[in-house]
Amino acid sequence: MKLRKVLNGLEFKAPAPVEDVEILGLACDSRKASKGGMFVAARGYTENGLKYIKDAMACGAKVILAEEDFSAPIGILKILVKDTRSALPILAGNYFDHPSQNMKMIGVTGTNGKTTITYIIESILRASGEGTGVIGTVNYRFKDKVIPAKNTTPGPVELQSMLASMRDSGLNYAVMEVSSHALDQTRIEGIKFDAAIFTNITNEHLDYHKTIDGYFKAKIKIFDKLKKSGSAVLNLDDDRVGSIKSSIKHGVITYGINKKADVTAKDIKTSLSGSKFIAVTPKGDIDIKTHLIGMHNVSNILGSIAAAIAVGIDAKNIKKGIADLECVPGRLEPVEAGQKYKIFVDYAHTEDALNNVLSLLREVAKKSIVTVFGCGGNRDRQKRPLMGQAACKYSDRVIITSDNPRFEDPDKIIEEIEHGIKSVFSNYEIISDRRKAIARALGSASSGDIVIIAGKGHEDYQIVGDKVLPFDDRKIARGILQDLHENKKNS
C-alpha cells in the first residue's frame, strides 16, 4: 500500500517525499515488524516504542513513525508526528481500508454483561444465517479461527487487521466488547457502530480511571462512534446509563426490567435449569426460553434483543438464537461430574457481579451456598472489602482465597477483603492456595448444596508475579471431584 494513503488524515513531517513509497506491513510491536514495512514507535502507558526502533529496523522495517527524532541509517524513512497514540488508530484504519464501514458492527460496553451479550447476539445472528465475528474477553473468533484474547479490546493494529480478515472472509457482522480502557486510549478510533449497548456501571477499574465519573465518561465515548443511522441501546435499570438518553444525538432503543422501556420482560420465571419470560418489544411480544439463569441474564437477553432489533433481525430468529445458546464460558458455567450438588464457575470479579450471582442462587438454593473467591492484584483495591461483604451476605460459607495476585502479596489482598467483614460476619475462612480452597469447598459440600467458584471464570491461567501459570477452575474442580470419587471408592 502507498504510504501516502496510510498517512491520510495525519499531520506529519518527513525528510523526503512519501507519495511513491510502498509499504508491505504495519506494526507497533517491534517483534511483528516486517521487511519493507512500517513500524510505529508508539508511546504506551508502560513502554515507549522509541526503545524498540533498532529491533524493528533489524526485522526489516523501512519506515519508522515516531514522536521524537532519532538516528537511523540511510534507507530508513523517518516520519514524525505529535502524538503516536492518537495517530496509530488512524494509520491502522487506513492500512486495512476501514473494514467497519463494510460490516454491521455491534459494540457492547458496561461493567457487567458484555461477554454474555456478545454470545447471545452471536447466537441470534447464527440463527439468522449470518456469519459473525466476535471480539471479546474470552477470545476472538470467526469462521473456524479462535484466537486467545490478551485484552478485552485489542490494540488498533490487531483490531483493524482482525476486522479486515472478517470482512474479507465474507462476514457481514462483527460483535465486540468495548472496554473503558480501549475507549480512553482511543484504540477504537475509526470504527463505527450500527448499535452500541451500554449495560450498566458500577465501581470497577478505579485503579485506572480514579473516579466513577472518570470511568463513566470513558464509557459514554462509545456513542461518539455510532454511524449516522446507528442506535444507542441503553439499560434504563441503571440510573446513570438512563440519564444520558436525552443527550444522545442518534436513535435510542431502551431496555429494562424495572423501568418502562422499549424492550422489557413480563411473566419471568427462573430456576437452576433456565429462564422463561415474555419479551415485550416494538416488534411484538416474543416468548423467550433460555438455558441462562438469573435476573441479570434476563437483562442481558433484553439488551441483546434491543440490539438485534436495531440491526433489523426478526423476532423468529431472535427467539431461536436465544433458545440455542446453552451456556457462556465461565459465566455461571456448570461443572458436572456426577456429584450430588451443583458447582458453578463464574467470572464475577466486582461487588455488583458477585451480588447478582449470589442473590440469584440464594433465591433458588434448597440448601447451603458455598462461595470460593478472591480479588486480583494490582487492580482496584476499593472493591475488595465490598466483595467480601457480598460473598458473606448471600453465602452460608465463604472461602477467601487467591485470584490473580500479580505483583501483590496474596495474603495482603486477603487482609483487605477481610477488613470489610471481620467485625460483621463469621461465616468465612481463609485458604490462600486456590486449589486447596476449591478442594475444601468441594470436600465439605453435601447433597443439594451449591458451590460457586468466582472471580476467574473462563480463564485457564493464574498470574503470579510475571509468571502466567496454568490454572482453570473448571479443570481443577473436575480433577478434585475425580479424586474424591476415587477416595470414596477405595475407602
**Residue 406 and residue 435 in contact, taking contact as beta carbons nearer than 8 Å:** no
Which of 324, 344, 375 lies at the terminal end of a domain, its last residue? 324
Return the pLDDT at 98.
Answer: 96
**Residues 338, 261 share a domain:** no
CATH number at residue 71: 3.40.1390.10
Give the residue numbers spanning the domain of 80: 3-84
**Residues 356, 257 share a domain:** no
pLDDT digit string (tens) for the chain, length 491 residues: 999 999 999 999 998 888 889 999 999 999 999 999 999 999 877 778 999 999 999 999 999 999 999 998 999 999 999 999 999 999 999 999 999 999 999 999 999 999 999 999 999 999 999 989 999 999 999 998 999 888 888 899 999 999 999 999 999 999 999 999 889 888 898 899 999 999 999 867 666 677 888 989 999 999 999 999 999 999 999 999 999 999 998 999 999 999 999 999 999 999 988 999 999 999 999 999 999 999 999 999 999 999 999 999 999 999 999 999 999 999 999 999 999 999 999 999 999 899 999 999 998 899 999 999 999 999 989 999 999 999 999 999 999 999 999 999 999 999 999 999 999 999 999 999 999 999 999 999 999 999 999 999 999 999 999 999 999 999 999 999 999 988 877 76
**Residues 210, 143 share a domain:** yes
**Residues 217, 280 share a domain:** yes
Q: Closest Cα to residue 223, out of 188, 271, 259?
A: 188
**Residues 143, 36 share a domain:** no
CATH number at residue 273: 3.40.1190.10
Other Cβ atoms closer than 10 A to 323: 16
**Residues 345, 320 share a domain:** no
**Residues 21, 61 share a domain:** yes
Distance CA 403, CA 382 (A): 16
- DSSP letter string over 442-486? HHH--TT-EEEEES-TT--EEEETTEEEE--HHHHHHHHHHHHHH
**Residues 361, 269 share a domain:** no
**Residues 397, 426 share a domain:** yes
Which of 284, 302, 324 lies at the terminal end of a domain, its last residue? 324
**Residue 109 and residue 219 in contact, taking contact as beta carbons nearer than 8 Å:** yes
Return the pLDDT at 205.
Answer: 65
Q: Closest Cα to residue 442, out of 453, 431, 433, 432?
A: 453
**Residues 254, 231 share a domain:** yes
**Residues 338, 247 share a domain:** no
